[in-house]
Chain A
Amino acid sequence: MSATLESASRWLGPGAQSTEQITALVSAPILERLSWRNWWIAFLAASALTIIMWVSAIYLLAEGIGVWGVNSVIVWGFAIANYVWWIGIGNAGTLISALLLLTHQQWRSSLNRFAETMTLFAASIAGLFPIFHLGRPYVLYWIIPYPNRMGLWPQWRSALVWDFWAVSVYILFSFLFWYSGLIPDLAVLRDRARNPTTRRIYGAFALGWRGSARHWDVQQRMYRALAAIAVPMVCLVHSIVALDFAASLMPGWQETIFPPYFVVGALYSGFGIVAILAASLRWGFGLEDLITRNHFEVIARVLLAAATVMGISYAVEWFTGWYGNDTAEVNQIVYQFTGTYWPMYLGQLLFNCIVPQIFWWPAARRSITTVVVVSVILNIGMWFERILIVWNTLGHGHMPSAWRIFLPTFWDWALLFGSLGFFVFLFLIFSRVLPVISMHEVNLLWHEERQS
């Protein structure tokens, strides 16, 4: 009993003590005329970066991938590293939502909606990078299997085709999962909106949901079943991305640890972004009663566990390289520590494995600033990891005469930072029009806690 009483105060603050208060907290920013000054400032900044992204994308499509720093050896450059990094961020949302639902973790209720939205946007942005990198993006549709007069079919043994299926199914399925959970909340907005047009728009998307017990029964069955199949799918998405590397014959890539290690890395960077978004929403919308310090505390615990697993994964890479005693493999590991990019490699180890160890201290876990700062740092570290996987292996492979380094151009950076701005741009629009927290799930949490 004491455990449940403790949990009653754990995930909900004093200002969220009735269903009316909870729905008002989440829906008021969308429906009432509040001050949106900070939102507009952020929106303008994000729009500027979005313009930079699309200008660099259009320039790239017009000129070809020669505008990037890619050369005949390091052919993947920024594009594939950004793809892996973004899809990693996109991995966490559905995983958080589905896995925590199946394991009955109550703290998911306040996080799942915006984490799932993060997934949708990040995975969509990730999916753009391989297209930009295709060289001939106008024949992208050739990887879709359809009967055609050219007599062409996709090459099913190609990693590019697996990526296409993994990412597109991931986005579609995540959308389905996200929308299935959103329908009851759209009905709340429909019922609370005073403006008839707003009411009609939300009403149309709510599909006429009226909170019927029979509807809830079917919706909950579907939602749990979707969650159950979402978990293996999420694991597969980043495993397939890892297979792009592991299915090759390159030193530093051809490792069986790649799929699980990519999945953990994805969970790790995604949780970091969830922490940053949670802090921003909490501050921007005044949601202190729904996103509590305890939420950051558990996120910090997950980050700590993931950081430790990352450290072990790096150590396993070194061990298998040394134990396998393959010259190219050993050279690759030595190159990581002593080659051109050694400062970045040390940064990767420091940011991903050492810095999050601060979360062994409870005070650090409970400090929102610390969690956010560590999340930013670890995402930089994860980007270092993604880019170094590409640079080190491609630039220092089996053939010494083909060792090269990568020098990024302005357009490489423009697309990377532009894509960050585009993500923020999409997320700000989402926070303006849809409830950032799942109201019915927090209401249910409140009800369950009160009952016990």
Chain B
Amino acid sequence: MNHLFAAEFETADQMKRAAGEAAAQGCPASDALSPFPVPEVMQHLAPRPKPVMGWAMAIGGACGAAIMWVVQWFSAAQDYPIISGSRPLDSWQIFFIVMFEACILCSGVGGFITFIINCRLPSLHHPLFEIPAIERASRDRFFLVFEAGDDLHDFVAEQITQLRPLSLNEVAL
């Protein structure tokens, strides 16, 4: 059985320091909860693969633009040719407007989907929510989250106590 520990700290700096100490002890936190982004804490957390936000958005945008280019070319030059003001049927210059709009929309949607997948949201039920104190993570408290199996349970608990958190809560996964 796996266990989740949530160690509470009063300020972002205390949490950062504790995360650094824990990492130095060879027991890095798996996650940190804070009411606002504290990017510096990431370097002390257990490493995970980086999200591919930029690529996802670029591919989404390129697909959107390509699809709308094909749709416009096919409809205006092939399927429904209407000469308007003696302009050429394949007036590709003007197609850029809709291509650009589709590019923006699809890259935005691509970014949002990547965000949702990377964060595994929506996750309305999470073991951490069983800790009543965790509510304050959105308000004024900072938490370091540690994961441990049965074999390491006592070791990790001991390590966390040495960080002197305000409180330490535990839930079983």
Is the CB–CB distance between A173 and B36 below 8 Å? no
Which of B95-103, B149-157, B162-170 forms part of the interface with chain A? B95-103
Query: Is B26 positioned at the interface, with any CB of A under 8 Å from its CB?
Result: no
Contact with B along A137-169 (1 / 0, CB 8 A): 000000001000001111111000110011001
CA distance A173 to B61 in the complex (A): 13
Is the CB–CB distance between A191 and B140 below 8 Å? no
Residues of B with C-beta under 8 A to A187: 138
Is the CB–CB distance between B138 and A211 below 8 Å? yes
Is the CB–CB distance between A180 and B36 below 8 Å? no
CA distance A225 to B52 in the complex (A): 12
Tell me the smallest distance from the CB of B99 to a CB of chain A, in Å.
Answer: 10
Q: Given A153-B76, A211-B33, A218-B51, decide whether A161 and B38 contact each other with a Cβ distance below 8 A.
A: no
Query: Is A177 positioned at the interface, with any CB of B under 8 Å from its CB?
Result: yes
CB < 8 Å neighbour of A214 from B31, B91, B123: B31
Interface residues of B in 27-65 (CB under 8 A from A): 31-39, 41-42, 45, 48, 51, 53-54, 57, 61
What bracket does the count of chain B residues touching chain A fall in? 35 or more
CB < 8 Å neighbour of B118 from A218, A232, A443: A218
Minimum CB distance partner of A23 in chain B? B139
Tell me the smallest distance from the CB of B129 to a CB of chain A, in Å.
Answer: 7
Query: Is A398 positioned at the interface, with any CB of B under 8 Å from its CB?
Result: no
Interface residues of B in 128-167 (CB under 8 A from A): 128-129, 134-140, 145
Tell me the smallest distance from the CB of B35 to a CB of chain A, in Å.
Answer: 6
Residues of B with C-beta under 8 A to A226: 108, 111
Query: Is B1 positioned at the interface, with any CB of A under 8 Å from its CB?
Result: no
Residues of B with C-beta under 8 A to A204: 122, 124
Minimum CB distance partner of B95 in chain A? A156
Query: Is B24 positioned at the interface, with any CB of A under 8 Å from its CB?
Result: no
Minimum CB distance partner of B105 in chain A? A169
CA distance A152 to B81 in the complex (A): 10
CA distance A441 to B36 in the complex (A): 7
Query: Is A277 positioned at the interface, with any CB of B under 8 Å from its CB?
Result: no
Is the CB–CB distance between B138 and A188 below 8 Å? yes
Is the CB–CB distance between A180 and B112 below 8 Å? yes
Is the CB–CB distance between A191 and B31 below 8 Å? no
What bracket does the count of chain A residues touching chain B fall in? 35 or more
CB < 8 Å neighbour of A210 from B37, B48, B129: B129
Tell me the smallest distance from the CB of B156 to a CB of chain A, in Å.
Answer: 18
Interface residues of A in 191-208 (CB under 8 A from B): 191-192, 203-204, 207-208
CA distance A447 to B34 in the complex (A): 12
Interface residues of A in 108-139 (CB under 8 A from B): none
CB < 8 Å neighbour of A165 from B42, B54, B97: B97
Q: Given A208-B125, A220-B37, decide whether A169 and B119 contact each other with a Cβ distance below 8 A.
A: no
Minimum CB distance partner of B124 in chain A? A208
Most A CB atoms within 10 A — which of B12, B91, B107, B108? B108
CB < 8 Å neighbour of A169 from B13, B32, B104, B126: B104
Residues of B with C-beta under 8 A to A182: none
CA distance A188 to B36 in the complex (A): 11
CB < 8 Å neighbour of A157 from B80, B84, B111: B84
CA distance A208 to B134 in the complex (A): 13
Most B CB atoms within 10 A — which of A20, A173, A210, A232? A210
Query: Is A217 positioned at the interface, with any CB of B under 8 Å from its CB?
Result: yes
CB < 8 Å neighbour of B105 from A173, A208, A218: A173
Residues of B with C-beta under 8 A to A162: 97-98
Tell me the smallest distance from the CB of B120 to a CB of chain A, in Å.
Answer: 9
Is the CB–CB distance between A236 and B101 below 8 Å? yes
Q: Given A18-B140, A226-B108, A229-B107, decide whether A207 and B124 contact each other with a Cβ distance below 8 A.
A: yes
Tell me the smallest distance from the CB of A74 to a CB of chain B, in Å.
Answer: 23
Nearest 8 A/B pairs, CB to CB? A153-B75, A207-B122, A444-B36, A208-B123, A216-B37, A213-B32, A153-B80, A191-B135
Q: What are 21 inter-chain pairs, A to B, with CB distance below 8 A?
A: A19-B139, A19-B140, A23-B140, A156-B98, A157-B85, A157-B87, A169-B101, A172-B105, A188-B35, A188-B138, A188-B139, A209-B121, A210-B129, A212-B32, A212-B33, A213-B32, A218-B119, A219-B37, A221-B53, A222-B115, A236-B97
Q: Which residues of A are interface residues toward B (Cβ below 8 A)?
A: 18-20, 23, 145, 151-157, 161-162, 165-166, 169, 172-173, 176-177, 180, 184, 187-188, 190-192, 203-204, 207-222, 225-226, 229, 232-233, 236, 240, 440-441, 443-444, 447, 451
